[in-house]
A and B are shown apart, each in its own frame.
Chain A
Amino acid sequence: MTSIYRRIGWKPALGLLLLLWPLLTRLIAPDVTYYDYMVSLILINICIAVGLCLLMGYTGLVSLGQAGFVAVGAYTAGLLTTNYSWDLLPALLAAAVFSGLLGFLLGLAAIRLKSTYLILVTLGFGVSVPHLIAMWKSVTGGHDGMAVNGPTLLGLDVSGPKKYYYVVLVVTGLLLWLARNMAGSKIGRSFQAVRDSEAAAQAMGINILITRAVSFSISAVYAGIAGGLYAHHLGYISPGDYEIIISLNFLIMVVVGGSRSMVGSALGAVFLVVITELFSRAPAGLMAVFLGCTIMAVMLALPRGLASLPDVLREWWYKRKGEPRGAA
C-alpha cells in the first residue's frame, strides 16, 4: 500500500479517481446522480478556495466579500446563457472578465488604505452585492431568483449531472494548473514579497499597489468562474445564495484548511461542502455554531490550518521521543 502510494504519488491517483468518478458512481448507484453532484460542488468550491489562497495566503490580504464575486460571476454567466442563449464557454469567460475587473477596481480603490481598512471595503462589497441583485428585479428576478438554462459547451449539450461534472472537472483542473504556475513564478513571489515586507518589495522593484490589485483581481476571477459554474450546476440563481454569511464560510474554509497552502485551501473546500451537507437537515443555526467552534479550535491548535497537521504531528513526535527536530 505504502509502496504504491510512494511510487505513484497522491496527485495522479486523485486525478484518476476524479476522472473515473462518474463511471464509478454509475456502477455503484446507477440511478443516483447525488455523488456526481456533490463532487462537482466540491470542485466549484475548490476554485473559490484556490483564488482566496492566492489572495490571503500569498498576498496576505483578507476578503470578507468573496461571495459577492461569486454572485457577479453566477449572474453574468447565468443571464448570458439564459437570456441571450450564449454558449457556456464565452459566458464563463465573460463572468471571469467582469468579476476580475470588479476585483481590480476594488483593489485599486483600496490604494490609500491599510489592509485593515481594505477588509472593510470587501465587507461592504460582500454585503451590498446580493441586495443590489435582489433590487434589480427586472433583470434578475429579485429575491425569487431565476432559472438558468441547461448549458451547452461548444454546441454540445452538457446539462446532465454526469456530463456537467466533466465540465466542472476540466475548468477546475485548468484553474488549479494556472494557480500553481502563477504561485511558482515571479507573480507568486511578488505576492509573498508584498506580504512579508512592503519596503523590501518596493526596493526590489515591485509596485505594491498594482500587485495587490492584481491579486484581488485573480481571486475575483476564480470566484467569478466558480459562480458561473455554480449557476449552471444548480440550474437556478437567487441572491440568498451569496449572502455575507456565505462569504464568511469561504473565509473559514480557507483558514481552516490552511491559507498558506493550496492543498490546505482545497481541503478546506472539501470540509465546507461536507459540513454544509451534513448539517442540511439539522436545525437552523447549528452549522454556524459548529463552524464558529471549529475555527476557534483550529486557530488555537493549528494556526496554520489543517494543512500544517502533518508538520505539527511530526514535531510533537520528535519532541516526545526527545530527539532534535528534523533528526530523521
Chain B
Amino acid sequence: MALLEISGLVQAFGGLVAVDQLDLSVEDGRIFGLIGPNGSGKSTVFNCISRFYQPQSGGIRFNGKNLLKMKPHQVVRIGIARTFQNLELFENLTVLENLLVAHHTHFRSKLPGCALNLPRSRREERAAREAALEILRLLDLAQYAEEKVPSLPLGMRRRVEMARALVTRPRLILLDEPASGLNHREIDHLTETLRDVNDRFKVTILLVEHNMNIVMSLCERIAVMNFGKKIAEGTPEEVRSHPEVVTAYLGEKK
C-alpha cells in the first residue's frame, strides 16, 4: 500500500509553474529517491507536503489522510518529519535541546503542568531526555549532546537534523539534500546511517539528493523531475538508462 500518494499536484508562483501535474506514490518502508536538475521543483514538493506551500490543485494523501487539510504544525503529528536543505537547527540551543524540541508533540503535560513542575511533567521530561539521548547514541552524536549547534561542523549538523527528525517518531522522513556540503567520508557515513534508519526504525524515506552515488545505491525506486514535471520513474537501472533523464542531466545531443 502506498504510504504517501501525490496526485496531479500543481504549484505555481505567479507565472512560474514549479510543480506541474505531479503524480508520485511512495510505498511503506521504502527509500524513495526524488532527483532532478536544480530548480526542477523537488524542494517545492517537500514544501507542499510540509504544508508550507498551498498547491493550486491536486492532492496529497498520507496514510489515507488528506494532507492538504492540515496546517504546517499538524503534519508531524501524523508521522511526517523532515530536514532542510539549508539546515534549520535551533542555533542557540544545545544538540540535546534541539532534539527535545522535536519531542514537543509527545508531551501530554500542558502549560500549567510545566509551570508548576508537576510530577507528570518531570517524569515526561526525564523520559524525553532518555529518548533523545538514545537517538543521539544511535547516530554517534552522544558526545555532542551539550554542544551548541554553531560549534559543530556541517556534516555533524546534518546528522543532528536527522536525529531531531527521528525524535518525532516519524513513519515518513523527508530528507532535503542531506549530502550537500559533505566530504567523502561523511557521505559514506550518511549512506550507512540512512540505511540503518530505514532498517531499524522502519521509517520510509523520501530523499531529494544531487549525489547520484547515494541515490543509486540507496533507493529502491527513483522519480526524476525536470521543469516541474516527472519525466521518469523506476528502479535505479531503469532511470539511469532512460533517454529523457540522460537528456535532462547531460543536455541534448547536438
Contact = CB atoms under 8 A, between A and B. Distances in A.
Interface in A79-120: none
B237 interface: no
Given A197-B88, A214-B111, A203 B76 contact: yes
Given A199-B52, A208-B73, A190 B104 contact: yes
Contacts of A193: 90, 93, 101, 104
Contacts of A196: 89-93
Given A178-B116, A181-B114, A185-B109, A204 B97 contact: no
Contacts of B50: 202-203
Contacts of A206: 73, 101, 104
A249 interface: no
A182 B114 contact: yes
A182 B115 contact: yes
Contact of B81 (A186, A195, A199, A203): A203
Interface string A172-206: 00000010011001110110110111011111111
A294 interface: no
B56 interface: no
Contact of B116 (A181, A186, A189): A181
A207 interface: yes
Contact of B76 (A189, A197, A204): A204
Interface in A301-328: none
Instruction: Categorize the interface residue count of chain B.
Output: 35 or more
Contacts of A197: 88-91
Contact of A204 (B101, B109, B114, B117): B101
A205 B78 CA distance: 10
A190 B98 CA distance: 10
Contact of B104 (A178, A181, A195, A205): A205
A205 B106 CA distance: 10
B88 A186 contact: no
Contacts of A192: 90, 92-93, 97, 101
Interface in A194-240: 195-197, 199-208, 214
B84 A200 contact: yes
Given A190-B104, A204-B104, A181 B73 contact: no
**Chain A CB within 10 A, most for which of B104, B111, B125:** B104
B54 to A, nearest CB: 14
Contacts of B52: 199, 202
B74 A205 contact: yes
B97 A205 contact: no
B191 to A, nearest CB: 24
B103 interface: yes
A214 B52 CA distance: 22
Interface in B99-129: 100-105, 107, 109, 111, 114-117, 121, 125, 128
B93 A205 contact: no
Nearest to A208: B73
Given A185-B125, A196-B89, 5 more contacts: A178-B116, A186-B101, A200-B84, A202-B52, A205-B73
7 contacts: A182-B114, A185-B117, A189-B100, A192-B97, A199-B84, A202-B72, A205-B104
